[in-house]
Homo-oligomer: A and B are copies of this chain.
Amino acid sequence: MNEELRKVIADTQARYKADPTEAQVTFRSESVLQSGLQSHVSMRDHKLTVDEPEVLGGKDTGPNPVELILGALGSCQEITYRAYATALGIPLDEVSVTLDGDIDLRGFFGVDDSVRPGYGAIRGTVHLTSTAPEADLEMLRGAVNAHCPVLDILTKGVPVDLQLDLRQPVTAAAE
């Protein structure tokens, strides 16, 4: 398994080094709000239902968007640990992540416009099970935190450009 992954990583690095244009990729999501606060999200062939807890006005049929942010960070850390441990030849039996995100909901609800609507802070623990010396695992941590895409997105921010497309409802009266 790890031998296979090591080969994918080495081959990909060689390919991107030879032709950087191959490394330029675009991911996409398409989502449609259903009744209430439920959204159906598609990412390639993968589907996901997002909703809010009942106390926030939803029906709790799925995680909410800010919980997904934590799930994206935890899984991205784990994947990056596995990839870099494999590439660096550091044994890694298990990796799991627990994350807490603190939010002041006065921001989202517009109660106080000096309060940001997003997380004020994210805290967490990365659990590693390994026979490697602690110094190797600290080196691994440095490599992971320098290359984890979601950690980079969340700590550094990203320019976001959203256009509005306005449509009139199709009315039966038009017939």
Binding site for B on A (CB under 8 A): 1, 5, 8-9, 12-13, 16-17, 20, 23-33, 35-37, 39, 41, 43-44, 46, 48, 50, 52-53, 56-58, 62-83, 87, 93-113, 116-131, 134, 137-138, 141, 143, 145-169
Contact = CB atoms under 8 A, between A and B. Distances in A.
A159 B122 CA distance: 6
B67 A116 contact: no
A134 to B, nearest CB: 6
Given A33-B75, A154-B160, 11 more contacts: A5-B57, A17-B106, A25-B103, A33-B79, A43-B70, A50-B79, A69-B72, A120-B159, A121-B161, A122-B159, A122-B160
